[in-house]
Chain A
Amino acid sequence: MGEDKFFLGVDVGSVSTNMVLLRPDNTLKEALYLRTQGRPMQTIQEGIKLLRSRIPNSSEIIGVGATGSARQLAATLLGADVVKNEITAHAVAASRVNPKVQTILEIGGQDSKIIILRDGVVSDFAMNTVCAAGTGSFLDQQAARLGIPIEEFGPLALRSKTPVQIAGRCSVFAESDMIHKQQLGHSLPDILAGLCQAMVRNYLNNVGKNKDIKGPIFFQGGVAANPGICKAFEEELGQSIIVPEHYGVMGALGAAFLAQERLANRPESSTGFRGLKLSETQFQAKSFECSGCANRCEIVEIIQEGISLARWGDRCGKWSLTVGTSNDNKLADQQRGQRGA
C-alpha cells in the first residue's frame, strides 16, 4: 500500500471531536482535537476539511471507524465501516500502544470511565452513573469562573504547597466550597490543587469502586492534559501514571484500528466512506415530534442536499431509517453473531 492510503478514526464526544488518520503501518499521520461546541455536524465537516488540506490530493481513505456519544451521527455523515462504543475503542487503542497495560483511566468532557484489562482483554469496566461531577466540563467551567485558561490549570495546581480540602462529591458543593476557600484568602494554586485531589478522590470512589487497579496505568482523555490531575492520581494510587502520546485522541485512534481490522478481516469489501468532498456539501438536521401515539417521540432527520440520510429517535421504528453502508454493517454484525470487532 502506498504512502497516501489512510484509515480515518472519528470520536465525536460531548466536548471534543477528535479525528485521526492512521497509516497502514499503524503510525499516525494526523491527529485533530476540535471543540464540538454543540454542533457535531459542522465540526465533523470542519475536521474533514482540515484533514483534507493537510494531506496530498492523491490520498485515499480506505476505512472509517466512528465512536463517541455522537457515533451514530458521525457514522451517517461519513459512511463509517465500524461503529463502536467508546469503551471498546479506548481499550483497543491503549492495548495497541502498550499491550501490557492493565488499567485505563479515562476522563472526558461529560463522562469518566475506568477500564480494567488483563492480557490485553477488557475484564471489567465502569462508567460514571447519573452524575457528571468530576469530568472535564466541570474543570472547564471552574477555570472559566476563575478567569484562567484551561491550559494553565494544571501547571498552576502543581505550584501548590498545601492543597486545601474541597468537597468533591458533587460539583455544585465543590463550587461553593471553592468559593468559601477563596473568600478566606487561600491562594489560587492551593485551591486548584485541592480541586484536583477532590476530583481524583471522587473518581476513585465512584467509578473506580471495587476495581483492581494495577500498573501499567494509562491515563487518557482530554483531562489527561492536566498535570495537576495526573499528580493527584499518582499520589492517591501510589503508582506512576502513563499519559500516552496521543492521550487526547485515543478514542479516535481506537476507532481507526477497529476500521483497519474490520477491513483486514473482509478484504473483499471496500470502505463505505462518503469521500473527502464531504466538507463541501450541505447537511441539515431537522427534528419534529411524532404525533402517532402518546409517546411523542422526538425524531431527528439528517438530510444531505434534499436527500434523507437517516432518521432516529423513535421508539417504535416507524421513522427509523439508515441508508448506505452503516446499515449493511449493522445487519452484517447481527449475522455474524455479534462477534467483537
Chain B
Amino acid sequence: MKIGFPRALYYFDFFPFWTGFFHQLNIEVVISPPTNRQIMDLGLKNASDETCLPLKLLSGHIQALKAVDWVFLPRMVSVEAETYTCPKFLGIPESLLSSVPTGIPVLTVTLNWRKGQRLVLKDLQKMGETLGKSKIEIKQAFYEGQKWQEKFQKTRGAEWNFEESIREIENLSTCLVKPQPTNPQLLPEPDRLKIALVGHSYLIQESYANLNLLKKLREKARVELIQHVDQNEIETNLLELRKKLFWSHSKQIYGAGNKFLADPEIDGIIYLTCFGCGTDSIVQELLSRKARQRHKPYMVITLDEHSGEAGLITRLEAFLDMVERRRVHEGYVSTHGERLDCYSNTL
C-alpha cells in the first residue's frame, strides 16, 4: 500500500511523525517532488484565489502525487496543548478536495492535542480501521512516529539544516546506513553579519516559492532560524504578552523573534510572510513595534506568486547594506578589513 504525502505545509514540521507512523505500519510513503514551476502552476490554477500561497502550493503538490493508493490530508487541529493551527489548516481535507486527482481516495484524520493523547490515539485508531490495522498496531506506530519526530526536533535544535534533518529521517525509513551530518556548525565568523530569518517553516524552507531566500541570505550573512531556538527560551519570551497567542506557529515566531530582538549578537531581523496571511498580520505588527523600540533593523518580505527576483534582491541587498553600515556607525570596530573614514558617508 502506498500513501501519497504532499511536500507542503505540515510536511515541513510533522513529516517525521507521519513517516515514522506509516513506516511502523509497513505502509510506503510517497512524497511529491520538491516544488517546481509545474507544481506551482497547477496549484495556482486549481486552488481558490482567496486562499494563501502555501495552500495553493499544497494544492499543486496534491495534484503531483501519482500512482498512490491514498492521498493523505490530515486535519491538524492542534499540535500541542492550548494552541490551534491556522484556521486554513483546519479545512484542508475539504477545501482542497478538488485538487485530489480523480479516483484516488483521501485518507484523513483529525489530530487534536487539545483533548490529550488518549483522544488523539482514539482518532488515529479510527483511521487505522480504514487501513485495516489493529488498535495495538496503531498505538505502536504512534510511539514510533513520536520517536522520529523527537529525533528530528533534536537535530533541528542542534542547528542542522532542514534538508539534513529530513534526510536523516528519510534514511530511517529506508534503513540505510546512518550518514554523519556535515555539521553546519561553521567556524565562528564574528565579522559576518548575523541575521535572524523568522516566519512560517513552510515559507522559509520552501526554496522555490521564496526564490531561494535562505540560500541567498546565507551567502551574505550568518542566519539564525526559529527552529534553532530552544523551546524553553521561546516560552520565556512569550511571558510578557498580556494575552496568549493561540496559534502554534505564531507562538514560535513571536517567542523566537522576541529572543532575537533582545540578542545583541543579532544584527537584524527579516520577517518572511506571504500575502494575505491572517496570523502574520498580527504577529508581524507585534514584532515590528518591539523592533522599533529596540532600534533593531527589521524588514518584512511579503511573498506571493512572484517569479521575478529583482524586487527581492533589491530589498535584501538594501537591508544588508543598511545593517552593515549601522553596525560600523555604532562604533563597532572590525577586527580586520577596511573601515570607512569620516569623509565617507556612503553605505
List B residues 322-338 near A (Cβ within 8 Å): 322, 324-326, 328-329, 337-338
- Given A130-B302, A340-B325, do A87 and B314 touch, yes or no (CB 8 Å)? yes
**Is A52 engaged at the interface, CB distance under 8 Å to the other chain?**
no
Find out whether the CB atom of A86 lies under 8 angstroms from the CB atom of B314. Answer: yes
List B residues 163-211 near A (Cβ within 8 Å): 191-193, 208
- Given A69-B310, A87-B318, A88-B317, do A340 and B346 touch, yes or no (CB 8 Å)? yes
The one of A69, A91, A315 in contact with B347, judged by C-beta atoms closer than 8 angstroms, is: A91
| Minimum Cβ distance to chain B for residue A267 (Å) | 13
Give CA–CA (A341, B346) in the complex, Å: 7
Query: Which residue of chain A is the closest to B292 with respect to CB atoms?
Result: A210
- Given A92-B346, A210-B292, A296-B38, do A340 and B318 touch, yes or no (CB 8 Å)? no
**Is B59 engaged at the interface, CB distance under 8 Å to the other chain?**
no
Find out whether the CB atom of A85 lies under 8 angstroms from the CB atom of B314. Answer: yes
Q: Name the B residues within 8 Å of A124 (CB-CB).
A: 297, 322
- Contacts A121-B347, A127-B315 given; 14 further ones with Cβ under 8 A? A84-B317, A85-B318, A87-B321, A95-B345, A96-B345, A99-B345, A130-B302, A210-B288, A293-B36, A295-B37, A338-B193, A338-B220, A338-B324, A340-B347
**Is B120 engaged at the interface, CB distance under 8 Å to the other chain?**
no
Query: Which residue of chain A is the closest to B193 with respect to CB atoms?
Result: A338
**Is B31 engaged at the interface, CB distance under 8 Å to the other chain?**
no
Give CA–CA (A121, B347) in the complex, Å: 7
| Minimum Cβ distance to chain A for residue B294 (Å) | 13
**Is B50 engaged at the interface, CB distance under 8 Å to the other chain?**
no
Highest count of chain A CB atoms <10 Å: which of B36, B220, B317, B318: B318
Residues of B within 8 A of A (CB): 33, 36-39, 191-193, 208, 212, 219-221, 275, 288, 292, 295, 297, 302, 304, 310-311, 313-315, 317-322, 324-326, 328-329, 337-338, 340, 344-347
Find out whether the CB atom of B212 lies under 8 angstroms from the CB atom of A340. Answer: no
| Minimum Cβ distance to chain A for residue B306 (Å) | 9
- Nearest first, the 8 A-B pairs at minimum CB distance are A87-B318, A294-B36, A120-B345, A85-B317, A340-B347, A122-B322, A294-B38, A341-B346
20 A-B contacts (beta carbon < 8 Å): A69-B314, A86-B314, A88-B318, A91-B347, A95-B345, A96-B345, A119-B329, A122-B318, A125-B318, A125-B322, A127-B311, A130-B302, A257-B346, A261-B344, A294-B36, A295-B208, A315-B208, A340-B324, A340-B328, A341-B347
Query: Which residue of chain B is the closest to A121 with respect to CB atoms?
Result: B329
Find out whether the CB atom of A88 lies under 8 angstroms from the CB atom of B321. Answer: yes
Count contacts on A: residues with CB < 8 A to the other chain.
Answer: 40
Give CA–CA (A338, B319) in the complex, Å: 12
| Minimum Cβ distance to chain B for residue A118 (Å) | 9
Contact with B along A112-141 (1 / 0, CB 8 A): 000000011111110101100000000000
Q: Name the B residues within 8 Å of A315 (CB-CB).
A: 208, 212
Find out whether the CB atom of B337 lies under 8 angstroms from the CB atom of A336. Answer: yes
List A residues 158-215 near B (Cβ within 8 Å): 210
Query: Which residue of chain A is the closest to B219 with respect to CB atoms?
Result: A334
Query: Which residue of chain A is the closest to B314 with respect to CB atoms?
Result: A85
**Is A337 engaged at the interface, CB distance under 8 Å to the other chain?**
yes
The one of A111, A122, A295 in contact with B36, judged by C-beta atoms closer than 8 angstroms, is: A295
Give CA–CA (A128, B154) in the complex, Å: 39
Give CA–CA (A76, B43) in the complex, Å: 36
